[in-house]
Structure 1
Amino acid sequence: MKKHILTVSVAAALAATLALPAIAQNVAIVNGKPVPKARLEALEAQVKATAQRTGQPVPPEVMNQLRDEVIAREIFMQEAERRGVQGTEAYRKNMEMARQSVMINALFEDYKAKNPVTDEEAKAEYDRLVASQAPAAGAKEYKARHILVEKEDEAKAIIAQIKKGAKFEDLAKKQSKDPGSGAQGGDLGWANPAGYVPEFAQALGKLHKGQMTDTPVKTQFGYHVIRVDDVRDAKAPEAPKFDDVKAQIKQQMEQQKLAKFQEDLRAKAKIE
């Protein structure tokens, strides 16, 4: 009798031990139906992938809510099945669209996994981008000031006053209708002429250090009196370090590769 009781106890313990892995594999049991932990893991991976693509971190509270989301989906799924939703025409159409989306996304993910952008490719692209920012040979930058007024006669009067000894900076503060530079005595800082409207750029390019326009320069904004305070060789903008932008460059190149893959598939397809 004792032997029989002992055997039953061992069997119960063994059954409980064997049941543990099955329980561990489920998020919950909803109406007697297990919700596999794989669903939660898949949803977590989806959320993290979306966050990585957008460059936004996943808030901890969002990850904590995913278990509730998975359970809620199972509840709604069970109710949909109970009502026979899967037999409707709308369900079949939506399922076909969903199937296509899943397969297409899987195709693109497979392509990206098999055609990764290497560090060497990313570095070559980085070098190309940096080189493209280099100014053209002989390009110049100008440190200029200007006074902007509405009428040509006003500009001519200002030029006459400056030639008689009036300070350019003082007149700019008093009369320029460009509030940004006017408050700074007309100072525009260092800039490449290409950054200005054509008429202004052409006039600027004809001036040397210390020179001022003899006649007003007309643009869409009004009439300008321009003075060049200094000229220097144009400099390329300071580039960020490769390691700081490598991930961004790789992502952009991956998108370019994928776009080319899609274009090639369209070009090879026989459409009647």
Structure 2
Amino acid sequence: MTAKPARLLFALIAAATLAAPAFAQNLAVVNGKAIPTSRVDAIVKQVVAQGQGQDSPQLREAIKKDLIAREVLMQEAIKQGYDKKPDVKQALDSARQAIVVNQLARDYIAKNPVTDAEIKAEYDRFAKTQSGEKEYHLRHILTTTEDEAKAVIAKLKGGAKFEDLAKQSKDTGSAANGGDLDWAAPSAFPPEFAAGFTKLNKGQVTETPVKTGAGFHVIKVDDVRAVKVPAMDEIKSQIAESLTQTKLAAYQEEMVKKAKVQ
């Protein structure tokens, strides 16, 4: 356990302390206040589930020491009246609300899980929207003025290499790589930038400068390919998570609509 970050252990102890049941054999009794053994079990379970360590006597001993220290500090804080401070009470209320609401959400999803059929339907919808889409491997040269961009185009027509001219691009992020912007779909760029290259074929360069908020661009299409849709198994977990969040959002909206809000 000594190899694990203290911050992580502290967080796990805090979460498990709030969630631990009141009944259990006592781990220790601090100034008459019992600490149930179940709190250690809960923290160990979280550590193992998150892949942060394995159940061991050393882990349990470290958790025990931290729980005792936290109880001592908690008693001292209460003795000094920190639990009565407005900001502390507000923080406690917020933490309590988050814990209760999160449990409600977990129970709702457990009773209304995302089904394989829903995942398949969402995947099919996603694949359909991607069908026929293209990705472009682009290079660009950014200039401050339109005349500068026109001068670049003239040099290219005269036989200059795009990669060489790109070293003077105002886009310092891509200049060193010959203006390379890698592969991307048109939707990844501002509309006016995308409109400048979507009608070009492989190897072509824009005939006129493309103006955006950044300046004036000369764009070259290195290559074009159809968007590759990943197999469903590759993105199944992401789809399930997205659908879960959608269900929770719909449930929340439904509850808000039923509530009397003045």
Q: TM-score, with normalisation over the residues of structure 1?
A: 0.60
Establish whether residue 40 from structure 1 lines up as the match of residue 25 from structure 2: no
Contact 1:143 1:231 in 2 (8 A): yes
Task: Measure the CA separation in 2 of the matches of 1:268 and 1:146.
Answer: 54
Return 138-147 or 229-238, whichever deviates more: 229-238
SS of residue matched to 2:37:
helix
SS in 1 for 2:165: helix
| Equivalent position SS for 1:161 | helix
1:170 equivalent to 2:193? Answer no
Structure 1 counterpart of 2:176:
183
Question: What is the identity percentage for the equivalent residue pairs of Structure 1 and Structure 2?
Answer: 40
Cα gap change, 1:109/1:50 in structure 2, threshold over 3 Å: closer, same or farther?
farther
Query: Cα distance 1:208–1:57, how it changes in 2: closer, same or farther (>3 A)?
Result: same
Q: CA deviation at 1:215?
A: 1.6
Superposition deviation, residue 41 in structure 1: 0.4
What residue in structure 2 maps to residue 194 of structure 1?
187
State how far apart, in whole Å, the 2-side matches of 1:145 and 1:77 are: 60
- Partner in structure 1 of residue 221 of structure 2: 228
Does residue 140 of structure 2 align to residue 155 of structure 1? no
In structure 2, the gaps of 5 or more residues are 1-23
**Which structure has the bigger radius of gyration?**
1
Is the 8 Å Cα contact of residues 208 and 228 (structure 1) preserved in structure 2? yes
Partner of 1:209: 202
In 2, distance between residues paired with 1:128 and 1:160? 48
Report the Cα distance in structure 1 between the residues aligned to 2:114 and 2:98, rounded to whole angstroms.
29
Local SS of the residue matching 2:204: coil
State the AA in 2 paired with 1:229: D
CA distance in 2, matches of 1:114, 1:74: 33
Distance 1:134 1:191, change over 3 A: farther
Residue 270 of structure 1, CA deviation? 5.2
Equivalent residue of 1:225, what SS? strand
- 1:29 CA drift (Å): 5.2
> Which structure 2 residues correspond to residues 253-272 of structure 1 after superposition, within 5 A?
253=244, 257=247, 260-269=250-259
Matches within 5 A, 1:46-85: 48=45, 57=52, 63-68=60-65, 70-71=67-68
| DSSP-derived class of the 1:185 partner | coil
Does the 8 Å contact 1:146/1:186 carry over to 2?
yes
What is the distance in 2 between the residues matched to 1:227 and 1:112? 50
Instruction: Check conservation: 2:123, 2:232, Cα contact below 8 A.
Output: no
1:204 is displaced (CA, Å) by 0.2
Task: Give the Cα separation in 1 of the matches to 2:242 and 2:261.
Answer: 32
Change (3 A) 1:226 1:259: closer
Structure 1 unmatched runs, 5+: 1-23
Amino acid at match of 1:188: L
Q: How large is the RMSD of aligned CA atoms in angstroms?
A: 4.7
CA distance in 2, matches of 1:104, 1:159: 58
Cα deviations by residue, 1:172-227 (Å, 9 ceiling, x for unpaired): 22x22222332222232222122122222101012122322222111112211222
1:121–1:200: structure 2 CA closer, same or farther, 3 Å change rule? Answer: same
